[in-house]
Structure 1
Amino acid sequence: MNQQSTATPAEHQGVALGSSFYAAMRILPRSQREAMFQIYSFCRFVDDIADSDAPRAQKLADLQQWRDDIDALYRGAPPPRLRDYVASLQQFGLKRQDFLDVIDGMEMDVPADIRAPDEPTLDLYCDRVASAVGRLSVRVFGLPEQDGIDLAYHLGRALQLTNILRDLDEDAGIGRLYLPREGLLAAGITSHDPREVMASPALPQVCAPLVKRALEHFARADEIMSRNPRRVVRAPRIMGKYYHSILQLLIARGFEKPRRPVKLGKASRIAILLQYAII
């Protein structure tokens, strides 16, 4: 992505068509929906930088430009591509640090591809690329402060761990391995080469603790959402149910070779949407 791009969130909404995010966010009132698409657009921009084929130095420079732009936004001098964000910041109290955390998370893959991070690094990665997005989102949804922070913590980690488990082979294909090194060693895997790890018969042993951890985070997130008004948690309910269903499909499939791709069907997505879209 060119760092001088001034595309607005509306121009990037098409990338979410058919996704769980788009389905969950389109049910929100207009001001909340616009704020969420701004958050989503920002995340897509910085994620596209991290995943691009540009030289690493260029990607670092582009991410730094986003940090500078976020700083300018909070100084009251937003660059063109962030001018539409001013109203959302004022209305929902979005925090500068959460935007910067997302950028820091995307940058973790840039100097070198992540391969078998230790547990604290994996958790930090999940916090930055998922829970930080959640911390922005819960302010838009209108959750109480502590419940919002707690929901972002648990649901963000549940979603990101599910993503990691779902995308094991895809990530390995581009040289990335998000499984924790402690889990690899416990299963007797000493290699950090993604393709070698994917070929190991011990891979299910590595995945099992992550599955358990994701399920625990989903359960804690459900507890928080259950004590808040249905209208406030409709969107995170849809996201949570969507990804929980993907995790259940992964559990049913298992992690032995061959691993067919897992995807939630259209009928299931519609059923989830209808279950929670109506107040």
Structure 2
Amino acid sequence: MNARTTSRQAPSEGGASEVAPSHVGASREAGARDAPPEAAPALPAAGSSFYTAMRLLPPEQREAMYAVYAFCRAVDDVADDGGPREARAAELARWRADVDALYAGTVPPRLVGLAEPVRRFGLAREDFQAVIDGMAMDAQADIVAPDARTLDLYCDRVASAVGRLSVRIFGLAEQPGRDLAHHLGRALQLTNILRDVDEDAARGRLYLPSERLAAIGLAHPTPAAALAHPRLGEVCAALADEAEAHYRAAWRVMAGAPRKATKAPRLMGAAYHLILEGLVRRGWAAPRARVRPGKLRLVGVVLRHGIV
């Protein structure tokens, strides 16, 4: 339910990482977005929580989610590894045009896999375009300390928009589905931001909100300055609290929805919540070891949420 979750490292059994579309760094398959239409779409790594959640879906839903995943991965590759910024902007514009063509009745070769899911599940054009807009935010400039409103917009585009596509495939009713996409998308994305803070800083990016950084004395922070600040933990802890509030809201929505329709998001939410818990236990002082849920805890998540 997160373009940059499904396409980066998702929690996997045994601590392995998924390589695929930030926050969702990961290695990329060169030229994936230019693959011919007959090529197999990018799939999540076996063993990841996303892969497990999708494998538990009925075939039509699973194939639809794989098609959405492949789209998210392709546009994310453009945002992160698409060459000069002008080239990235041009390629994202071509993706926007392809999405428009799909909804106008002309199926572009690289969107063949989405044609049937769009028809069958009523996937909304504006959600695909929102995902591209989110990737454009990363492509046009390295994001450094966005204000809270911009950060929330970014989370909506790269995470909750994917959630809105996903909940239609899962079969949730309109309003509960939109509420779940809103809260779970933000919970996952904020967890990713906290998990990847060092990795993002190495790429010149900092997704921590400017207001919270200003409160600890960083009015014009650089990624390096923020990570070296002795009060960084206050900012991260506050963002972790925000993520926790979104997890709680997402679980309230899922508690009132049919269990069958929420199997996949329950599994994803529970697996990612393990990461947030691990980050809080680890703390925010450097050096910050990578947090990966243990195999037994992930197996417990599958047993608890993967069986209807």
Give TM class, smaller chain. Answer: over 0.9
Please, which of 34, 47, 65 is the counterpart of residue 36 of structure 1?
Answer: 65
**Does the aligned pair in 2 maintain the 1:9–1:37 contact within 8 Å?**
no
Taking structure 2 as the reference length, what is the TM-score of the superposition?
0.87
What SS does the corresponding residue of 2:41 show, helix, strand or coil? helix
Please, which of 8, 11, 36 is the counterpart of residue 6 of structure 1?
Answer: 36
Distance change >3 Å, CA 150–CA 105, structure 1 → 2: same
Structure 2 partner of 1:27? 56
Which stretch has the larger CA shift, 131-140 or 267-276? 267-276
> In 1, distance between residues paired with 2:197 and 2:32?
29
Distance change >3 Å, CA 54–CA 24, structure 1 → 2: same
Offset of residue 71 of structure 1: 0.6
> In 1, distance between residues paired with 2:229 and 2:82?
29
Instruction: Tell me the amino acid that sits aligned with residue 135 of structure 1.
Output: R
> In 2, distance between residues paired with 1:40 and 1:175?
26
Offset of residue 200 of structure 1: 0.9
Distance change >3 Å, CA 181–CA 16, structure 1 → 2: same
Structure 1 partner of 2:274? 245
Measured against aligned partners, the alpha-carbon deviations of 1:122-141 in whole angstroms (never above 9, x if no partner) come to 00000000000000000000
What SS does the corresponding residue of 1:16 show, helix, strand or coil? coil
> In 1, distance between residues paired with 2:38 and 2:219?
46
> In 2, distance between residues paired with 1:228 and 1:241?
16
Aligned length: 278
**Does the aligned pair in 2 maintain the 1:92–1:140 contact within 8 Å?**
yes
**Does the aligned pair in 1 maintain the 2:151–2:209 contact within 8 Å?**
yes
> Percent of pairs identical after alignment?
54
**Does the aligned pair in 2 maintain the 1:188–1:202 contact within 8 Å?**
no
Structure 2 partner of 1:219? 248
> In 1, distance between residues paired with 2:147 and 2:230?
21
Offset of residue 265 of structure 1: 2.3
Offset of residue 268 of structure 1: 2.2
| CA-based RMSD | 1.4
Unaligned runs of 5+ in 2: 1-30
Write out aligned runs for 1:83-162 (5 A): 83-162=112-191
Taking structure 1 as the reference length, what is the TM-score of the superposition?
0.96
**Does the aligned pair in 2 maintain the 1:117–1:181 contact within 8 Å?**
yes
> In 2, distance between residues paired with 1:170 and 1:103?
22
> In 1, distance between residues paired with 2:250 and 2:135?
24
Instruction: Tell me the amino acid that sits aligned with residue 6 of structure 1.
Output: P
Measured against aligned partners, the alpha-carbon deviations of 1:136-195 in whole angstroms (never above 9, x if no partner) come to 000000001000000000000000000000000000000000001100001112342101
> In 2, distance between residues paired with 1:265 and 1:66?
38
Distance change >3 Å, CA 69–CA 41, structure 1 → 2: same
Offset of residue 3 of structure 1: 5.4
Measured against aligned partners, the alpha-carbon deviations of 1:68-110 in whole angstroms (never above 9, x if no partner) come to 1111110111111112222111110000000000000011011
**Does the aligned pair in 2 maintain the 1:134–1:156 contact within 8 Å?**
yes
**Does the aligned pair in 2 maintain the 1:101–1:132 contact within 8 Å?**
yes
Offset of residue 2 of structure 1: 6.7
